[in-house]
């Protein structure tokens, strides 16, 4: 993974590169930001740059033995720890048990989400966690001397999935790591990380990718025309993974917009025979499209709230979205927007977890009916 393979994030890239050049790599860093902003990809590119045997000015060589191993995620000094599923703690599975799926998952898409990882593991309804047995495995790995590289690097993806017991096992190690050992923690939500761990890491905040950077990235990396790239970069909220999902599921913006206006009108009016017809037509789309639609709806709620608060200059609308929002935004205000967002998020989660599509959307319409009238 090279820095140049990562969309946007130029400021973070040069910050990371400078820590290497100036020999001030901090031993425990917390990369905080959504998967689709590139947090894991940046950590891997950083590790590759640190370990490269023939560094160029701002990039790893991508040819030395170290780079070649990292490209396959098979460098003996680059370790990964991530949430796994496993029944009881006595039979708890650890990252090593899933390492081949993990390599495939990351190499295929280093912007992949936690939900996509659960799907990759065939997790069913189980949630992933980083268990005590995993923490013990981390301690064991880092007690060994590095095999080839100057540094041993431990990348912990989603440390918020550790329970207190696992976190406590790692506390001392993160505070006083063995010599030449680096921790890169990649987190979505630092509020869920135990504070004693948090206070021992240096924050690397990963912000959303700008629309322009995403537009350029999509044109370079995906075979789509300029108009489509512009449209998708505006809709995907700085999230490269979301943008790719939209391309792969060939969702066009117009369809999402129409679904959204229908959902809001029908829910508001509470006409259930029509709602049932609408749910039927939506249920014919695949789950991925339904998820993209729900993400789009979340974005629309947020933008309409911004408009409701007289901040039109900050809202990110296309022309037809803006025309719809002229009236609709009066229904979205601080009292109901968080509730609406929470219901859309929960519908998204249920669709990801293979819940019955019709039940999820009918339930959503009933709740929207109440919330839109608040």
Note the residues at the interface with Zn ion (CB under 5 A).
52, 60-61, 64, 67
DSSP letter, residue 49: H
Q: What is the closest distance, in whole angstroms, from the C-beta atom of residue 27 to Zn ion in the complex?
A: 22
Q: What is the closest distance, in whole angstroms, from the C-beta atom of residue 66 to Zn ion in the complex?
A: 5
Which residue is associated with the tokens 């789950």?
287
b or e along 296-318 (b: 16 or more beta carbons within 10 Å of the residue's beta carbon)? bbbbbbbbbbbbbeeeeeebebe
| Residue 54 DSSP SS3 | coil
Which residue is associated with the tokens 């792969």?
248
Q: What is the closest distance, in whole angstroms, from the C-beta atom of residue 206 to Zn ion in the complex?
A: 24
Two tokens, residue 206: 């990963």
Residue 49 or 260 with smaller CB distance to Zn ion? 49
Name the CA dihedral angle for 360, 362, 367, 373, rounded to a multiple of 10 degrees. Answer: 150
Residue 52 or 294 with smaller CB distance to Zn ion? 52
40 and 241 in contact (C-beta within 8 Å)? no
Q: What is the closest distance, in whole angstroms, from the C-beta atom of residue 64 to Zn ion in the complex?
A: 3
CA distances from 56 to 21, 24, 59, 198 (A): 11, 18, 5, 33
Residue 61 or 341 with smaller CB distance to Zn ion? 61
Residue 60 or 243 with smaller CB distance to Zn ion? 60
106 and 40 in contact (C-beta within 8 Å)? yes
Residue 7 or 60 with smaller CB distance to Zn ion? 60
**Burial (CB count within 10 angstroms: exposed 0-12, middle 13-18, buried 19+), residue 180:** middle
Q: What is the closest distance, in whole angstroms, from the C-beta atom of residue 48 to Zn ion in the complex?
A: 7
Q: What is the closest distance, in whole angstroms, from the C-beta atom of residue 60 to Zn ion in the complex?
A: 5
What sign for the dihedral angle of Cα 1, 146, 74, 96? negative
Residue 67 or 235 with smaller CB distance to Zn ion? 67
Residue 29 or 48 with smaller CB distance to Zn ion? 48
Q: What is the closest distance, in whole angstroms, from the C-beta atom of residue 49 to Zn ion in the complex?
A: 8
């Amino acid at each position: 993974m090279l820095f140049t393979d990562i969309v946007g994030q130029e400021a973070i890239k040069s910050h990371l590169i400078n820590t290497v050049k100036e020999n001030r790599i901090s031993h425990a860093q917390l990369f905080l930001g959504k998967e689709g902003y590139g947090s894991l990809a940046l950590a891997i590119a950083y590790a590759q740059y640190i370990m490269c045997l023939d560094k160029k000015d701002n990039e790893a060589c991508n040819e030395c033995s170290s780079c070649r191993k990292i490209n396959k995620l098979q460098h003996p000094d680059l370790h990964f720890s991530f949430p796994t599923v496993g029944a009881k703690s006595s039979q708890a599975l650890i990252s090593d048990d899933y390492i081949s799926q993990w390599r495939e998952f990351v190499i295929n898409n280093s912007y992949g989400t936690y939900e996509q990882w659960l799907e990759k593991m065939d997790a069913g309804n189980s949630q992933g966690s980083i268990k005590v047995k995993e923490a013990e495995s981390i301690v064991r790995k880092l007690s060994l001397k590095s095999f080839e590289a100057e540094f041993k690097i431990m990348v912990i993806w989603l440390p918020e999935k550790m329970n207190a017991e696992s976190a406590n096992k790692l506390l001392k190690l993160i505070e006083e790591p063995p010599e030449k050992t680096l921790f890169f923690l990649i987190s979505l939500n630092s509020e869920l990380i135990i504070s004693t761990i948090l206070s021992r890491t240096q924050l690397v905040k990963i912000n959303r990718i700008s629309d322009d950077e995403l537009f350029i990235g999509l044109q370079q990396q995906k075979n789509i025309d300029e108009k489509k790239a512009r449209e998708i970069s505006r809709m995907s909220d700085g999230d490269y993974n979301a943008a790719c999902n939209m391309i792969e599921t060939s969702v066009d913006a117009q369809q999402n917009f129409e679904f959204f206006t229908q959902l809001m009108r029908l829910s508001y009016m509470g006409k259930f025979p029509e709602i049932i017809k609408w749910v039927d037509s939506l249920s014919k789309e695949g789950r991925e499209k339904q998820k993209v639609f729900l993400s789009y709806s979340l974005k629309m709620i947020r933008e309409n709230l911004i408009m409701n608060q007289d901040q039109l200059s900050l809202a990110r609308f296309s022309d037809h979205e803006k025309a719809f929002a002229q009236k609709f935004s009066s229904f979205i205000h601080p009292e109901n927007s968080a509730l609406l967002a929470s219901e859309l998020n929960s519908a998204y989660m249920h669709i990801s977890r293979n819940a019955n599509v019709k039940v999820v959307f009918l339930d959503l319409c009933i709740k929207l009916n109440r919330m839109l009238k608040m």
